[in-house]
């Protein structure tokens, strides 16, 4: 696969151009242009079946692209896979282990298969990786007795046996209870603090929002948008919520400001008027002042930016599993 036309974004740990994967007449990944900045925690977000895992498999050379170009850590893939992949740790599509070996012995066996892994430090590195993912207490337990969440952690431990410049995690919270999910979130942040770039795919919007610095949104095989989490939110429409018994006056005042009141919801405490802020640069205090001048009694007033959930719905026209 030629990379002559891929110039390389400055500081990009992952870069693709026109990345496409087709299975017969079905296109699973359609012209994806990823740019993952070095040192970022990049959330690859989308519902199940959106093409995330197919993209990851192409990035790691586990399957070939139908067309398009890939660079990992500045080198063309798959041409430079032998040099690049030792610097990459990955957990893709759930880990597979020898069921009647212990967690520790599974990691030792996997580490022995890495020709660049020094045997003299193997035992210490395996135990350190197990401790880092919270499995030190279960190191001697047979893998067949591990829960799904424990197997996920063991897979992450395998990705961390050697120092990595890039860590790719496909649905790392799969099968984890809330405490395990929090621990994985903390682990991902610590990897970034240590200087690694972390590329994490997920369909759990709330998890991505809490741990990632950058976001890419996939839907039906296409990358709809990417950028920093803050930029993605700022690109959305801010929303005004007004709690008042004077709904008619509030609707009139908001309309006069050029806003678009979209709903009137009667609640137990007070009727609420909701409007999208379609006028750029309109300060919240200007809105509040106009409401008060119109005789609107304010029991509640809020202007908030678009959440990641709001932006996803805006981009795709649909929702998906927000919490898990």
* pLDDT of 198 over the 80 cut: yes
The full DSSP string for 148-174 is HHHHHHHHHHHHTSS--SEEEEESTTT
Report CA Rg, the chain: 24
* pLDDT of 98 over the 90 cut: yes
Average pLDDT, the chain: 85
Is residue 109 within 8 Å of residue 101, measured between CB atoms? yes
pLDDT tens for each residue of 279-319: 556 788 898 999 999 999 888 888 876 667 767 777 766 65
Instruction: Label residue 244 by pLDDT band (50, 70, 90).
Output: confident
* pLDDT of 7 over the 70 cut: no
- Cα separation, 195 vs 181, whole angstroms: 22
* pLDDT of 236 over the 80 cut: no
Return the pLDDT at 57. Answer: 95
Is residue 296 within 8 Å of residue 289, measured between CB atoms? no
Instruction: Label residue 262 by pLDDT band (50, 70, 90).
Output: low
- Cα separation, 80 vs 66, whole angstroms: 18
**Which residue matches tokens 């597979």?**
96
pLDDT tens for each residue of 153-162: 899 999 999 9
Average pLDDT over residues 263-292: 71
Start-end of H helices in 17-61: 52-59
Return the pLDDT at 3. Answer: 36
Average pLDDT over residues 194-208: 88
SS3 state at 128: helix
Return the pLDDT at 269. Answer: 56
CA angle 82, 44, 315 (to 5 degrees): 145
Category of 101 on φ-ψ map: left (φ > 0), alpha (ψ -120 to 50) or beta: beta
pLDDT tens for each residue of 13-71: 999 999 999 999 999 999 999 999 999 999 998 887 889 999 999 999 999 999 999 99
Average pLDDT over residues 190-216: 89
* pLDDT of 127 over the 70 cut: yes
Domains defined along the chain, listed by start: 12-233 (3.40.50.300), 237-305 (3.30.70.100)
pTM: 0.77
């Amino acid at each position: 696969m030629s990379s002559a036309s891929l110039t390389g974004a400055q500081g990009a740990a992952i870069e693709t151009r026109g990345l496409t994967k087709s299975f017969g007449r079905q296109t699973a990944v359609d012209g994806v242009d990823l740019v993952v900045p070095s040192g970022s925690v990049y959330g690859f977000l989308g519902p199940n079946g959106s093409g995330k895992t197919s993209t990851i498999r192409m990035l790691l050379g586990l399957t070939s692209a139908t067309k398009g170009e890939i660079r990992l850590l500045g080198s063309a893939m798959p041409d430079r896979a032998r040099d690049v992949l030792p610097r990459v740790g990955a957990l893709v599509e759930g880990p597979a282990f020898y069921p009647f070996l212990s967690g520790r012995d599974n990691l030792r066996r996997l580490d022995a298969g890495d020709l660049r892994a020094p045997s003299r430090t193997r035992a210490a590195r395996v135990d350190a990786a197990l401790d880092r993912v919270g499995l030190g207490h279960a190191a001697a337990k047979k893998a067949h007795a591990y829960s799904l969440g424990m197997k996920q952690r063991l897979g992450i431990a395998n990705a961390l046996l050697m120092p990595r410049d890039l860590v790719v995690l496909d649905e790392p919270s799969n099968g984890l209870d809330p405490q395990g999910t929090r621990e994985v979130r903390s682990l991902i942040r610590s990897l970034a603090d240590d200087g690694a770039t972390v590329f994490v795919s997920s369909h759990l919007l709330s998890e991505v929002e809490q741990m990632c610095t950058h976001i890419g949104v996939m839907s039906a095989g296409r990358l709809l948008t990417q950028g920093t989490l803050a930029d993605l939110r700022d690109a959305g429409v801010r929303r005004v919520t007004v709690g008042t018994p004077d709904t008619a006056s509030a609707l009139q005042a908001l309309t006069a400001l050029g806003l678009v009141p979209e709903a009137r919801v009667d609640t137990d405490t007070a009727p609420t008027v909701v409007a999208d802020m379609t006028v750029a640069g309109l300060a919240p205090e200007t809105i509040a002042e106009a409401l008060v001048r119109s005789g609107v009694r304010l029991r509640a007033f809020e202007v908030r930016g678009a959440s990641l959930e709001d932006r996803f719905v805006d981009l795709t026209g649909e929702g998906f599993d927000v919490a898990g």
